[in-house]
Amino acid sequence: MNIKIGKDPSVDTSVKGVDYKLNTDDRFISRHHAFITVESKSPLKMNVTAKSVNKTFINGKVLENNKPYALNIDDALQLVSIQNEPISIKELLTFAKIPLPKAPTAKQYKPDFLLLKDIYDNYKKESTRLTKKDALINGLRSSVFALSTASVGLIAILGKEDDTTMKLVKIGIPVVVVIGVTLFLNSISPRDKIIQLNDQFEVDYICPNCSRSFGKTSWTLLARQNQCAFCKTPWTEENK
């Protein structure tokens, strides 16, 4: 089926103004400007072919004359100039009484699967926070050790004339500082919390039906799969 677009009175469908009739005052719109070919209605498959030397646009892209261009229902057609008001392909099909494809059945995630999203999001947030804290503490520990080593070396060089007791005292000070700082950093290290968090996550982040663990698989990826990879339980339910 062809939908002819132009200002010739014989066209099957006109497309602007009252009843989508074209503005006949625009002398650049051709009598047979373009036509849409509906190849099939279910599934809807169609294309547009420009026929006029005066330009035809789809979504702002100028079409080559006499060459079919695949159309989608959400596309917009413009004649002569990209500045002209766009013509909705969906509205054009409605005017031509072409049945539009049915919208996909609305779906929503099951409540127990949505709970998994909260579990995953909270885990990632807390895991990121603890990991950053652990990295910071490790950095401080390395810095303190490096400074202590440098201090001991410097004391040894500058204290050549000191007796053995004085050398031991001077060298012992940075060593004691390192031990004290290390013990403090170990006391505030989040490593135990990271282990506990991972263990709890493995317990909570499981299939609501078969209780198989999803490991560290992101919730978004699980949602794309639309079902449990183990027991095939669907994550969504259709709205009827």
CB 101, CB 43: distance < 8 Å: yes
> Residues 213, 218, 219, CA angle at the centre, nearest 5°?
85
Q: What's the pLDDT score for residue 161?
A: 61
Task: Tell me, yes or no, whether 102 lies in a domain.
Answer: no
Tell me the C-alpha distance between 113 and 181, whole Å: 45
Domain check: are 172 and 136 in the same one?
yes
Residue 44, beta-bridge partner list: 41
For residues 176 and 222, membership in a common domain is answered with: yes
Helix (H, G, I), strand (E, B) or coil at 16: coil
- Is 61 in the same domain as 111? no
pLDDT at 113: 94
pLDDT score for 94: 83
Residue 50: predicted pLDDT: 94
pLDDT of res. 73: 87
Q: What pLDDT is recorded for position 201? A: 96
> What is the predicted pLDDT for the residue at 19?
43
For 151, the domain range is: 107-238
3-state DSSP assignment of residue 176: helix
95, 124, 153 - which closes a domain: 95
Q: Are residues 115 and 228 in the same domain?
A: yes
| Cis omega (within 30 of 0) for bond into 43 | yes
Query: How buried is residue 22: exposed, middle or buried, by Cβ count under 10 Å (0-12/13-18/19+)?
Result: buried
Q: pTM score, two decimals?
A: 0.49
Of 95, 117, 137, which closes a domain?
95
Q: Could you tell me if residue 154 is inside a domain?
A: yes
Same domain assignment for residues 111 and 69: no
Residue 101 falls inside a structural domain: no
**DSSP count for the chain of H helices, then E strands:** 5, 10
- 91 and 113 part of one domain: no
Which residue among 65, 95, 125 closes a domain?
Answer: 95
pLDDT in the model for residue 238: 58
Q: CA-to-CA distance for 193 and 185, rounded, in angstroms? A: 14
Structurally, how many domains does the chain consist of?
A: 2
Question: Tens-of-pLDDT digits for all 240 residues of the chain?
Answer: 788 887 776 655 454 433 445 555 567 888 888 889 989 887 889 999 999 999 999 988 999 999 999 998 888 888 888 777 788 888 888 877 888 877 555 568 899 999 999 999 999 999 999 999 999 999 998 998 888 787 767 776 666 666 667 666 677 777 788 888 889 999 999 999 999 999 999 999 999 999 999 998 999 889 888 899 899 999 987 544
Check: CB of residue 57 under 8 Å from CB of residue 82.
Answer: yes
Can you tell me the distance from the alpha carbon of 35 to that of 96, in angstroms, rounded to the nearest whole number?
12
Do 37 and 84 share a domain, yes or no?
A: yes
